[in-house]
Structure 1
């Protein structure tokens, strides 16, 4: 969320000499520096402009990862807004993490779904680049009383697919259903159980599976 200045490939809003009547247009940065070289995406005109990044403000951020959490700060454009579900990078002494906003705290400890940066007191987030996902594995004979729970650690962009077989160490199970997290982007339903239904690990609250290991199921 830090914006010290545009890098090559970034897109910024600037006035274009060839699109004078259009006000500002989106430009691609070709070469950064005190005066950036940019290309107007509307007409293709290449020119140099001075670009001053918008003023920034420091935000308090709490990052949760599993059972642990840490407090840090990030710099964000003061004129921007944030909402639950937004993702950004947090750079801390411990690690650089991709996080997702799960709650926004404003004045008087009030929690909201979206807010202007200037109104934010604390952003509550969770790490989504590497996540731990709970899995419920049912025995292959249908005895749900003998189901077991495990936890798997996977990259956030790992895909769980209903109908596919997943292997984690000694665990092997067919995925029969997926429960989506409340803070995930919009999925069709909160629970998915049709073959081919797919959810990213960072969006998964729980995986349901049927045991397919070669060893006989035993309660002992």
Structure 2
């Protein structure tokens, strides 16, 4: 009701193949949780999940992922979102001044989705692609006992990753690079906390 508090809503049985399903393109300003089931296990499930969130969901501001460290290595960085939180909350990236906060590059005025450009970015890095926030898969102290270095969420390197030239996002359905803009990087590397070297001299691997 207008002016009231919306009720908690659980949407189950959502069909990712249904083009009329509005839950995948509607921004709810209330406590709404939608559930869509995906087929497969292991790498097959992971591939289906990446394709679903990249190609079916509207908006690219942030994505949360709960995954075992081994699964994260298999994932690589194929998710096209401005802030990716692995076993953490994207709000940690928003609250970190040195991290960027904004949509994944590639939106246009005709298809604006989560917007164009970023805010924060206290280090003033140019051509950034995304911010990665990582947290332990297991709560402390079990995280330390299993070799996980952190006991609380943190942005990796506390800053976003620049996109070096010549590196493309190999996902076949990635949004086009804006005219005159730099290419997107397929990999996310630990950023430098010192002034970056000229792009021509920075390592690509």
Q: TM-score per shorter chain, which class?
A: under 0.3
Which structure has more helix as a fraction of its residues?
2
Structure number with greater Rg is 1
The higher relative CO (CA closer than 8 Å, separation ≥ 6) is in 2
Query: TM-score, structure 2 length as denominator?
Result: 0.24
